[in-house]
Structures are given as C-alpha cells and as structure tokens.
Amino acid sequence: MNERIKELYEQSLIRETGKDHAGNPMLVIKQNPEKFAELIVRECLEELRYTVLDTQELRRDKSTDYQVGWEDGMFDAGETIEKIFGVEE
C-alpha cells in the first residue's frame, strides 16, 4: 500500500483510553472509515489545487484560452468533488 495512504489511515484512527475486564487501563484503537475517506478526498483536492496553482505560476503572463479553460475545468472538478463527498475546505 502507498505510504501516504498508510499515513492517512493512521490519522483517521480514534485512540481512547479504556479499561479491560479487570479494570486495568488500556488503549482502545477504533477504525473511523468516514474520517479515512474524508482525509483521502481532502488529499486529492489539495493535489488538484496545487497542480492548478503551480500551472498558473508557470504561465502567469502567457495564459491562452486553452489554459484558462483548463484551469476553470480543474476548479469545477474540485467543486464537484466537494459536493459529491460533502467535504468543505
């Protein structure tokens, strides 16, 4: 599995203190699939925005209709992903 996916999975885990059957303290780790999915979607959106901003920086004074259309399409894609998955910035 990709290292970044592993990192996001680790970030999504819920760590709580609890007690075992004898009353001894213990660490309880629970999976949180919703948080994991949210982190993945946010990571994808961040990469999408970074790509657009990086491209804008490279072409600052050389924008063409194609470039402007491409950037608009990338922003629209990001907004659509946010709406579909209910993730806000």
53-63: per-residue pLDDT in tens? 777 666 666 66
In eight-state DSSP terms, residue 23 is S
Question: Going along the chain, which residue ranges are E strands?
Answer: 14-19, 25-30
Domain-by-domain residue ranges, the chain? 3-85
Question: Tens digits of per-residue pLDDT, 29-87?
Answer: 999 999 999 999 999 999 988 888 777 666 666 667 877 788 888 889 999 999 999 88
Q: What average pLDDT score do residues 18-39 get?
A: 93
Per-residue model confidence (pLDDT) at position 87: 82
Tokens of 71: 């950037």
